[in-house]
Amino acid sequence: MSALINMPTRSEPQRKSEFGVGCSPPRRSIFGNYKPDGAAASLPPEQRAAEMPPLLGAGAGDRLAVNSVTLQSSIDAALARTFIYRLLAKAYEDPEAEGWQWLSSQPIKSALQSAVQSLAPTAPAAFVRAAAELANRLTPDAFDDFHYTFVACFGHTVRGDCPMNEIEYGDIKADPLFQPHRLADLGAFYAAFGLEMTSDAAERQDHISIELEFMSVLAAKEAYALEHQLEDEHAAVCREAQKKFLREHLGRWTPAFSRRLARMAGGTALGALADFTCEFITEDCTRFKVTPGSEDLLLRPIDESSESLCASCGITNLPPGVTSSPVEG
């Protein structure tokens, strides 16, 4: 595991490639000690495949060709998932004009199309349609409408009808320690891969954008391990972590979150984002043989004691744009 913590990751492209060129998101990663520096290698996919060192030894013949193609497909899929998770993470941050400019730029929309095409052979048609609809809605002049809808759906209250935090979703009869245990487990996931949240993070560790970004990091590590042909265990650990994180966290509550949001924001860019999120997470669960959570997952009851869950870390489930609790007089 220590090797994985220090293993370089490349989650955003530095060059012109199928996953977008040199168009880095305007804001740094929420994980302060993680520096995304490019999702693709310096060579185009066909050249990378051609220069790939043998996997099976000299004289492997057809088996070598088949395994090279299979390996390249796995690398491309991991890179595509890295990009999509990163894009979704940025999309669910508190809206800012600069961030919207990045999301709606043509290079990023082209990269989204290429990433979807890389996954399309094994993905349902609904996934491809949802991606196309999202790309159509991501236009530079749509920011004001997106911002208005975002505020209308997520509001200025501690918790609205569509919370963006995982621990708001769960069995209403769940153990009272369900929420703090969830937060602790998330912290353990992040720490296991050497990731630390920044001191100025405006959201706690179960926010949708942070969980999405963590999956982007894991997919990037998988792509790096595959492309550089590290020991098999490196890629395997990354894939097992992704599977477990989907099963126990992101895949458990995101279907309910995204369907709630789609009902509230239907016909808007935010509604298209919700639809694509649901299709992508469902597809990723299928990829890892994980059963996605129910779209009808209930919200936990509101009680005063729950509002103090994160008192020790100083971060509460605040409305969009608020970074700290009011100072008591």
Range of the domain at 24: 9-32+66-290
- For the cut 90, the answer to whether the pLDDT of residue 152 exceeds it is yes
Q: Rounded to an integer, what distance in angstroms lies between the CA atom of residue 30 and that of residue 92?
A: 13
DSSP type of residue 246: I
Any domain includes 261? yes
Q: Rounded to an integer, what distance in angstroms lies between the CA atom of residue 129 and that of residue 108?
A: 17
Q: Which H or E run contains 113?
A: helix 106-119
Q: How confident is the model at residue 35 (pLDDT cuts 50, 70, 90)?
A: low
- For the cut 90, the answer to whether the pLDDT of residue 272 exceeds it is yes
Per-residue model confidence as pLDDT tens digits over 216-243? 999 999 999 998 888 778 889 999 999 9
Any domain includes 264? yes
In one-letter notation, the amino acid at residue 152 is A
- For the chain, what is the domain count? 1
Any domain includes 107? yes
Any domain includes 297? no
Listed ranges 11-25, 58-72, 98-112; the one with the highest mean pLDDT:
98-112
- For the cut 60, the answer to whether the pLDDT of residue 22 exceeds it is no
Any domain includes 312? no
| CATH number of the domain within which 106 lies | 1.10.3480.10
Query: What angle separates helix 178-192 from helix 232-245, to the nearest 10 degrees?
Result: 160
Per-residue model confidence as pLDDT tens digits over 282-316? 999 999 999 999 999 989 877 544 444 444 444 44
Q: Rounded to an integer, what distance in angstroms lies between the CA atom of residue 274 and that of residue 240?
A: 26
Any domain includes 43? no
Any domain includes 56? no
What pLDDT does 32 receive? 61
In one-letter notation, the amino acid at residue 105 is S
Any domain includes 188? yes
Q: What is the pTM of this model?
A: 0.77
Residue-wise DSSP of 205-235: TTBHHHHHHHHHHHHHHHHHHHHTT--HHHH
